Amino acid sequence: MKGASLVILAVVALALIGWAATANDLAMQSYFSPRFEQVRRNTFEQSKSYNQGVVQELQNMQFQYVQADKEHKGALASIIKHRAADYPHDKMPSDLRNFIESL
């Protein structure tokens, strides 16, 4: 009887240790994961390829805007302003910056 009680107590203790470890892992992950992702995003946004890609996309949209008829210019202007809103204007070439500000 005493041996069975010890076995049950050992199983319960192992289950509690496992539960505590899982809860600790979840707490650590919920604290650190957003910070890791923010660092990853900042690194990506500072990369040369990202910055060149954004500028190239905006320049292509500028070209489309210049070629568009009056009906489509309003929609294109809205899309261009939306895409350029979160991108630092000091990283854009001056002609592109002037174009976006003129919209």
Domain ranges of the chain: 1-46, 48-102
How far apart, in whole angstroms, are the C-alpha atoms of residue 91 and residue 97?
Answer: 9
Structure tokens at 84: 């350029």
Express each pLDDT in 4-59 by its tens digit. Answer: 888 888 888 998 898 988 988 999 999 999 999 999 999 999 999 999 999 999 99
Give the pLDDT band of residue 66 (cuts 50, 70, 90): very high
Residue 83 C-beta-side C-alpha neighbours within 13 Å = 22
Q: What is the reported pTM?
A: 0.66
Q: In this structure, what DSSP letter does residue 89 have?
A: G
